[in-house]
Amino acid sequence: MLPRFLAESIDFDAGIARLSGDEARHLAQVLRLEVDDEVAVFDGAGREFRARVARAGKDGAELRLLEEFPAALEPLVRLTLAQAVIKGDKMDDVVRDATMMGVKAIEPLVTEHTAARMKAGRAPERWRRIAIASAKQCRRAVVPAIGLGLPFEEWLSRDDAETRILLVEPSAAIEGHSVSTLGGARPASASVMVGPEGGWSVLEIEAGVRAGCVPITLGRRTLRSDAVAIIAIGVLQFLWADL
C-alpha cells in the first residue's frame, strides 16, 4: 500500500503536486523516501493520484503525477458536525472520528456551558492537522473544513442545511424525538449539533427549535459529549442508507 500525502497544490496541466510543511517533512525525514519512489497524493477535495517523487527535502517536495486513482466514495448527504467545544483531547477524538465517518465540515461551537478554553474565532490549527491525519489513515480523499469557532446563536443564523438536528439529552427541558423519525427521504445536506459536557441551556434549546432544528434524543441514557456525535453520525447514515 502506497504512503499517502496531502498536496499543498496540484498543477494538473504540468502533472506536478507539491508538498510543504509537515507533509514534506514526513516524506523526506520520517519515511525517508527518495527520488523515483512511488506514493499516493490527494488534493483534499476528492481526487487522488499515484505519483513518483521528483524532489524531496525538508523544505518541500515535488511529485510527478502518474495516474488518477478512483477515490473512496463520499457520503451522499453533505453532513456538517457543529460540536460544542469539549475539554482536552476529547475534542481531538471527535475531529478524528468525524473525519473518518465522512463529514463535510466540522464547526466548533462556543455555548453557554462550554467549559473548554476557546474563544470564538480561535479554533486551534491542531484540529486541521488531526483531520488531515485521519483522512490519510482511512483512505479518504477529502479533508473536512474546520471552522474557526462560532457562538451557538451565530451558527443558528448561518446554518442553511436542509435538515437541522439538535441532539438533546433525555432529561432536557424539551422532549426530544426518536432518531427514527429522521428516516425516510434522504436530505441533500444536514447539520448535527452536539452540546458540551454540561449540555445545552434551556435558552439554547428554545432558540434552536425556533430556528427550525429538530430536537432528537438518541435513547434513554445520557451519553458522553465526545461519544454522541459519532454515534449519531453512524445512526443517521444507516437510516439514510448512506454508509
Condensed to tens digits (0 to 9), the pLDDT of residues 165-192 reads 999 988 776 778 899 899 888 999 999 9
Question: Cell 513518483 sits at which residue?
Answer: 52
Instruction: Give the Cα separation of 242 and 139 in Å (integer).
Output: 17
Model confidence pLDDT, tens digit, residues 119-139:
666 778 899 999 999 999 999
What local confidence, expressed as pLDDT, does residue 12 receive? 93
Residue 89, phi-psi category: left (phi > 0), alpha (psi -120 to 50), beta (remainder):
alpha
Question: What pLDDT is stored for residue 124 in this prediction?
Answer: 85
- Do 58 and 29 contact (CB within 8 A), yes or no? yes
Sign of CA dihedral 101, 89, 145, 16: negative
The per-residue pLDDT for 173 is 64
- C-alpha distances (whole Å) from 13 to each of 64, 85, 141, 209, 233 are 11, 41, 20, 49, 38
- Taking 70 as the pLDDT cut, the residues of the chain under it are 119-121, 173
| pTM over the 0.85 mark | yes
